[in-house]
Chain A
Amino acid sequence: MLTNESVAQTIITQFGEAVSDFDDPYDLLTFSTTRETIISLITFLKEHSTLQVGFLTDITAVHYPDSPGKEFCVVYHLHSLINNLRLRVKVYLSNEDLHIPTAIPLFMSANWMERETFDLFGIIFDGHPDLRRILNMEEMDYHPMRKEYPLEDQTREDKIDALFGR
């Protein structure tokens, strides 16, 4: 039976300095890595004889405009169906350099997930064969899920928080 600690230890032994911030919120092993390591890390997890992380559940991103140098976080959710082990891997990117290698050679499902992340956040997946918008129209020149694009018209005055006692 694999525990989060033993899996974390295996990953640390292999990658050392390149992985950090180990945590398990709500029992889901979470850690960060760098963009140089991410593909070799996923390959290692996939090909490891006991871990056998053979399923990519999800790729998405989060925007943290207030943390300089770490504005964007690409989040990978991986799943080992044999060991029933879920992993969350994070890669922080700075606003100036939004490049990260694509995971398509490892998982076909990464194709649309990466296109969606590009569409909504503007993360550029290097090596992606077809990095186009998927949910929004081609003519759009911004990435709508970033925090600088608020949802509602900010000039509206009938919905300000002060009126609701906040």
Chain B
Amino acid sequence: MVSEELDIANKNLPAEQGPVQYVNELTTLNLGPTHPATHGIFQNILQMDGEKIVSGEQTIGYIHRAFEKIAERRPFYQITTLTDRMNYCSSPINNMGWHMTVEKLLGIDVPKRAQYIRVIMMELARIADHIICNAILGADTGALTGFTYIFQEREKIYDIYEEVCGARLTTNMGRIGGMERDLSPTAIRKIKEFLDRFPKVLTEFENLFNRNRIFMDRVVNVGGISAERALSYGFTGPNLRAAGVDYDVRVMNPYSSYQDFEFDIPVGQSGDTYDRYMVRGEEMWQSLRIIKQAIDNLPEGSHYADAPQYYLPPKQEVYKNMEALIYHFKIVMGEIDAPVGEVYHAVEGGNGELGFYLISDGGRAPYRLHFRRPCFIYYQAYPEMCKGMTLSDAIIIMSSMNVIAGELDA
């Protein structure tokens, strides 16, 4: 009942009955669009009954950049820069996913060495993504120490990216047909150093959180979702696995030689925030396993496919070799002919199945390109997961879902 009605009701009552008692009045609370705890720009309009959330509604679209439209005018290489800016926490995965989609369309076989390097880079990216998610989940529960410890390791991963391609955040290390450069000895040394050091840091981080009484009080049985609901809502990645479904694109539809490696798919049971946290933590260990196998068994050979009309030639070649100069010019000016076709290619991104749906009409740019962004699809379950929880739980649920604003809008 709104306050005006209350006033009218009070006026019409006989004086001896006293004023009407307070009846549940819902508060509308705007959480966001920009709020320090919302991890990006999205508005959540929550209906609160006291401290409890009764219902919620999200508004997204504040940073919509129309990537799909821009891609319709761009040659394939120039789209890489768009994909890097979707899930910017793990841009190599987007990058490789896009190049693999184009390779599928063009029918290029990538050499084993390039595939293994890609696997190493994608798993490093997954670790970086999970570090951010889990560490910030800790920070949101008020435990800042773990966050400051483990964030240094993300910087070390960025150092490896820098060694491989020169950039730290929006890495553009892949090429159609392979990698831009081979792994340098320094890069291999840095990756091995990371493999030595990271388990210690991760163990320390887990000791701080996994059985921490205060942390568990905040996350156990918070924001749970059943496997059936999670599937209906289109959950993928760690969020789905936390609910108990062992669906992983790396195992179901292996790409880039994932079938060569041994690793487990961690699954949870209740799909609550604690399970999501634990699944991400365990996935970091599995990623370390994969990187170790890949770096130990790195095959010899070329790091790019023999497809000169598509693979952007190295700069040294361009200065010396006429063929390379011609191909370089043609590729940079967007003259590569793509066959007519339509491709759907999915990779296991940091937060779920990242799909690329590409329709080519034979032109230099895609006729239509659609990104299946995992967070866009599962973020709609957020009000349901928040229902009956408190406001402080809502922050933690959002944090543990790993919603990346850049990918949400694309």
In the complex where A54-B231, A135-B60 touch, is A77 in contact with B376 (Cβ < 8 A)? no
Q: Assess whether A47 is interfacial by the CB under 8 Å rule.
A: no
Closest to B377 in A: A109
Q: Is the CB of B368 within 8 A of A55?
A: no
**What mask results when residues 344 to 369 of chain B are scored 1 for a CB within 8 Å of chain A, else 0?**
10100000010101010000000110
Q: Is the CB of B64 within 8 A of A136?
A: yes
Q: Find chain A residues with CB under 8 A from B60 CB.
A: 134-135
In the complex where A84-B253, A109-B232 touch, is A57 in contact with B372 (Cβ < 8 A)? yes
In the complex where A26-B343, A60-B357, A60-B370 touch, is A109 in contact with B233 (Cβ < 8 A)? yes
User: In the complex, what's the smallest C-beta–C-beta distance from B90 to chain A, in angstroms?
Assistant: 20
- Interface segment out of the listed B69-77, B136-144, B185-193, B213-221: B69-77
Q: Assess whether A81 is interfacial by the CB under 8 Å rule.
A: yes
**What mask results when residues 94 to 118 of chain A are scored 1 for a CB within 8 Å of chain B, else 0?**
0000000000000111011100100
User: In the complex, what's the smallest C-beta–C-beta distance from A41 to chain B, in angstroms?
Assistant: 18
Interface of B is mostly: mixed
Q: Assess whether B194 is interfacial by the CB under 8 Å rule.
A: no
Within 8 A of A (CB), among B56-111: 60-61, 64, 66, 68-70, 72-73, 104-105
User: Within the assembled complex, what's the spacing in Å between the Cα atoms of A133 and B355?
Assistant: 22
User: In the complex, what's the smallest C-beta–C-beta distance from B33 to chain A, in angstroms?
Assistant: 13
Within 8 A of B (CB), among A128-145: 133-137, 144-145
**What mask results when residues 143 to 157 of chain A are scored 1 for a CB within 8 Å of chain B, else 0?**
011000001100000
User: Within the assembled complex, what's the spacing in Å between the Cα atoms of A109 and B353?
Assistant: 14
Chain A interface: which size bin? Answer: 35 or more
Q: Find chain B residues with CB under 8 A from A55 CB.
A: 231, 234
Q: Find chain B residues with CB under 8 A from A113 CB.
A: 377
Q: Is the CB of A62 within 8 A of B234?
A: no
Q: How many residues of B contact A (CB 8 A)?
A: 42
Q: Is the CB of B372 within 8 A of A58?
A: yes
Within 8 A of B (CB), among A1-44: 25-26, 28, 30
Complex partner residue of B69 from A116, A133, A145, A166, CB under 8 angstroms:
A145
Within 8 A of B (CB), among A63-89: 63, 75, 77, 81, 84, 86, 88
Ordered by A's residue number, 20 sampled pairs between the chains whose C-beta atoms are within 8 Å are A25-B341, A25-B343, A26-B104, A26-B342, A56-B234, A57-B346, A58-B355, A58-B372, A60-B370, A77-B372, A81-B245, A84-B253, A108-B232, A108-B233, A109-B378, A111-B380, A113-B377, A135-B64, A137-B61, A152-B73
Q: With A58-B372, A109-B234, A151-B69 given, name 9 new contacts (CB 8 A).
A: A30-B342, A55-B234, A57-B346, A57-B355, A109-B380, A112-B379, A135-B64, A144-B69, A166-B335
